[in-house]
């Protein structure tokens, strides 16, 4: 594996006919395919001393040399972002994250994040767990709602991070998905990795995958739509969204992994189609989180109420209950 920053890749026969930008993205962890293509066009990445196009097909023996610039430092300030606090003591703070808010600053989302709000609420958080993610030990997608745990001290951060890494926590979710199920429960064991062509997505068809396990159980059945209880044993990026799509039951409203075919089938049914018309985000909610308190080691659980949009949709779907 080449070093990040300045690098040299000596290609072999197995690399033949791969795209230049794809090969770089596969071999350098800090570089996406999009970034690789940009650097290639700027001449910062060359093949045997020559400037090539991102789509150049590799030949065995090519020497690829280049530099991955240091990422720009993200500067962000405390902001009075509204936080729904479920629990707080001197060591941890547990939030009910609203849908539509980003957890930590990233390109395109430098303000108005959970982190901005936390720094305003808890000024001492700065420096705990990293400059960009102070106190954050796990994450929820922008449009996923629910329980989010934050460490308020270095000791709490180390303890919570270890719990998540060793999977000594319980994370339960609710999701509204397309389709009817024959079984009442099941387990999805499909490894997940970066999508082979779209670096912003995850996939079960990646060349490099990691174990991912999701348990599901029917909570309520409607015609063509199902409310699921889910528990994840691993914490892969977009895990529930990818797994639900993989078993042909994508989450209602998911703009990335949703199935147009599934949505179109429901929309053909006039009444249900009208219910889903204004859904603008994935109907996924982190319902419950069980951890050990990082200082007392006591087992504690937190539950976040469903957001209004999911409550309204479920109430309206009861007309079509099976």
- Residues whose CB falls within 8 Å of the CB of residue 85, separated by 6 or more in sequence, listed in order: 93, 94, 95, 96
**8 Å CB contact between 112 and 50:** no
C-alpha–C-alpha distance, residues 293 and 89, integer Å: 11
Tokens of 56: 């150049």
Partners of 265 in the β-ladder: none
3-class state of residue 157 by DSSP: helix
Active site residue 141: yes
Given the residues 141, 143, 254, 309, select the one marked as catalytic.
Answer: 141
Which of 208, 249, 256 is CA-nearest to residue 226? 249
Q: Which residues of 247-260 are buried (b: 16+ CB within 10 A; e: fewer)?
A: eebbbbbbebbbbe
- Tokens 């977009």 sit on residue: 238
- Residues whose CB falls within 8 Å of the CB of residue 2, separated by 6 or more in sequence, listed in order: 8, 9, 27, 28
C-alpha–C-alpha distance, residues 34 and 201, integer Å: 13
β-pair type (284-292, 145-151): parallel
Tokens of 144: 């996923």
**8 Å CB contact between 170 and 176:** no
**8 Å CB contact between 175 and 99:** no
| Residues classed as catalytic | 141
């Amino acid at each position: 594996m080449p070093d990040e920053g300045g690098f040299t890749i000596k290609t072999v026969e197995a690399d033949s006919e791969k795209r230049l930008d794809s090969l770089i993205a596969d071999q350098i962890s800090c570089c996406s395919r999009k970034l690789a293509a940009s650097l290639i066009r700027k001449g910062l990445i060359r093949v045997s001393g020559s400037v090539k196009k991102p789509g150049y097909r590799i030949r065995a023996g090519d020497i690829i040399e280049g530099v991955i610039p240091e990422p720009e430092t993200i500067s962000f300030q405390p902001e009075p972002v509204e936080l729904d606090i479920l629990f707080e003591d001197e060591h941890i703070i547990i939030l009910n994250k609203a849908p539509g808010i980003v957890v930590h600053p990233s390109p395109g989302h430098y303000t108005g994040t959970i982190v901005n709000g936390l720094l305003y609420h808890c000024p001492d958080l700065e420096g705990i767990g990293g400059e960009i993610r102070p106190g954050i030990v796990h994450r929820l997608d922008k449009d996923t709602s629910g329980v989010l745990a934050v460490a308020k001290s270095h000791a709490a951060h180390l303890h919570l991070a270890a719990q998540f890494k060793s999977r000594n926590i319980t994370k339960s979710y609710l999701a509204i998905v397309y389709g009817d199920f024959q079984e009442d429960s099941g387990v999805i064991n499909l490894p997940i990795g970066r999508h082979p062509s779209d670096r912003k997505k995850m996939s079960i068809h990646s060349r490099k995958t990691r174990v991912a396990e999701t348990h599901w159980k029917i909570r309520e059945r409607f015609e063509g739509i199902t409310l699921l209880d889910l528990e994840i044993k691993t914490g892969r990026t977009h895990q529930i969204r990818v797994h639900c799509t993989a078993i042909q039951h994508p989450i209602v409203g998911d703009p990335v992994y949703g199935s147009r075919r599934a949505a179109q089938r429901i929309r053909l049914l006039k009444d249900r189609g009208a219910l889903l018309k204004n859904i603008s985000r994935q109907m996924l909610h982190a319902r419950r989180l069980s951890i050990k308190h990082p200082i007392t080691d006591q087992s504690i659980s937190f539950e976040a109420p469903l957001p209004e949009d999911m409550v309204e949709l479920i109430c309206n779907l009861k007309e079509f209950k099976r």
